[in-house]
Structure 1
Amino acid sequence: MRATHRRRRPASQLPPLKPVLIVLHQEHSTSGRVGRLLQARGHALDIRKPRYGDPLPQTMADHAGAVIFGGPMGANDPDDFIKTEIDWIGTCLREDAPFLGICLGAQMMAKHLGARVYTHGEGRAEVGYYKLDQTDHGRLHATEAGFAWPDTVYQWHRDGFDCPTGAECLATGGDFPVQAIRAESRCYGIQFHPEVTPAMMCRWSIRGHERTLMPGAQLRHMHLDGWYQYDPAIRLWLDGFLDHWLKAPAEAASV
């Protein structure tokens, strides 16, 4: 019998990639560099703001992943939209859909999983660039996934969280020991802000100037200096992380 060869369809005939759900918390918030890199990979951004009445999907079947970003509010706040987002994270966990919680989003994920979310006992904050240390789980994960974690990252928070039971702590820090976690195989929470751009950094440090004066925080000029020193490694990590995060389960398992 003569062998037949199936011709690969050209890219123009491939189905479009699913959008990524982007959850933001302020009227003028943006997804920053994370959003731009997702779009560069061919994903549209489905931007929703539950704080202003936008609904969240009942399933992740129509989305390639979801990112909940940060904000000035806290995961322990009593607002209805905070509870709605915390509860909704269960959708991603149940379906093992790609989920990334950044700062507030990570704290929401930890709270959903039953962990403590807390304000530092001495009123300290991490605002600026701080060292990040990988755990054994983090080193193993980085090796398997094929990317290196940055050793210094940009932070903007005064709340922290404990590692939930059943999750892995991938990275630790100083005043807030838990800096990155993974639950299931594709759900991550990170305290730091890889999405930040120089414009975002300037806006945050001007509008939130009082945060730069808190115990443990760094003054505004140190943020801008740190960008040139530390951001190249953060960008490399983010590129590798997003490629790994967006892989289909079969692809990720084969890495």
Structure 2
Amino acid sequence: MKPIAIFRHVAFEGPGFLAEFLDARNIPWQLIAIDEGEAVPKASADYSGLVFMGGPMSVNDDLPWIAQELDLILDAVAGNIPVLGHCLGGQLISKALGGVVSKNPVVEIGWGPVAVADTESARCWLGELRVFDAFHWHGETFSLPAGATRLLSGAYCANQGYTLGPHLALQCHIEMTSALIASWCEAGAAEIKANLGSPAVQSSELMQQRANLPQLHAVAERLYTQWISALAG
């Protein structure tokens, strides 16, 4: 089986629980560390799937690798190679497919509920689950590209996730581990402090209580299991 390519855009936003999920199933994957200057592949055909992680930058920034990743996403979708995006990664997928990434009404940092759409498509991905606590860290949001179906929504961000055939784009984070949460709170301490007046922002202490992680991991397993079912050979 060809490996899954996982694109990391900043050192502290690695694959987290996704890596544990793939390793437990002996599914090969390759980390492409954009933050260390690794090159974006020219074509997607060498991989069974593409995963794009988060990052503090905007997809609207003038960074050379952004345009390259957008082209790679289009190449993968054209070749029916599943793509998966977390936060910035979901925004990259949206922009590549003709959506718009813009400022969210509020900064959203910490745990918060997301609702699962009451659709047949959503039930394929998440069964009868109707709501769960996801982890959030974003100031921008994406629109749904043509043909996409909303999967998740939230009180502070209408588009928390969508599907388009075998492709999954998420604004929220399902890949979190206790180590990731701790490192993000450390790296983002100034951002947390600057936005504590927002109803959608929690303190680092509250974020690290970790009580929601088992449920989040169960949700991630459902979503990742559905996504890998369509991996290319």
Q: TM-score, normalised by structure 2?
A: 0.89
Is it true that 1:231 corresponds to 2:196 in the alignment?
no
Q: Is the 8 A contact 1:150 1:234 kept in 2?
A: no
* 1:201 partner amino acid: I
Alpha-carbon displacement from aligned partner over 1:112-139 (angstroms, at most 9, x marks no partner): 1222211134xx21110111012233xx
Q: Which runs of 5+ in 2 are unaligned?
A: none
Q: Which has the higher strand share?
A: 2
Q: Distance in 2 between matches of 1:179 and 1:18?
A: 29
The total of aligned residue pairs comes to 227
2:38 aligns to what?
54
Whole-angstrom distance in 2 between the partners of 1:200 and 1:162:
27
2:19 corresponds in structure 1 to 35
How far apart, in 1, do the equivalents of 2:16 and 2:231 lie?
Answer: 27
Equivalent residue, structure 1, for 2:158: 177
Structure with greater contact order relative to length (CA < 8 Å, sep ≥ 6): 2
Alignment of 1:217 with 2:201, yes or no, is yes
Map 1:1-255 → 2, pairs under 5 A: 17-27=1-11, 29-121=13-105, 124-137=106-119, 140-145=120-125, 147=127, 148=129, 151-183=132-164, 185-213=165-193, 214=195, 215=198, 216-225=200-209, 227-228=210-211, 230-248=212-230
SS of structure 1 residue aligned to 2:208:
helix
Query: Which protein has the bigger helix share?
Result: 1
Change (3 A) 1:95 1:172: same
Residue pair 1:58, 1:91 contacting (<8 A) in 2 also:
no
Which 10-residue stretch deviates more, 99-108 or 209-218?
A: 209-218
- Normalized against structure 1, the TM-score is what? 0.82
Give the letter for the 1:130 counterpart: G
Query: Aligned pair in 2 of structure 1 residues 209, 47: CA closer, same or farther (>3 Å)?
Result: same
Amino acid at match of 1:159: E
**Could you tell me how far 1:55 is from its partner in structure 2?**
2.9
CA contact (8 A) 2:50 2:83 kept: yes
Amino acid at match of 2:156: D
- How far, CA to CA, are the matches of 1:27 and 1:211 in structure 2? 18
Q: Which 4+ stretches in 1 moved above 6 angstroms? A: none
Counterpart secondary structure, 2:45:
coil
Kindly state the Cα deviation for residue 176 of structure 1 after the two structures are TM-superposed.
1.4
User: Counterpart amino acid of 2:190?
Assistant: E
The structural deviation recorded for 1:150 is 5.0
**Contact 2:111–2:134 (CA under 8 A) maintained in structure 1:** yes
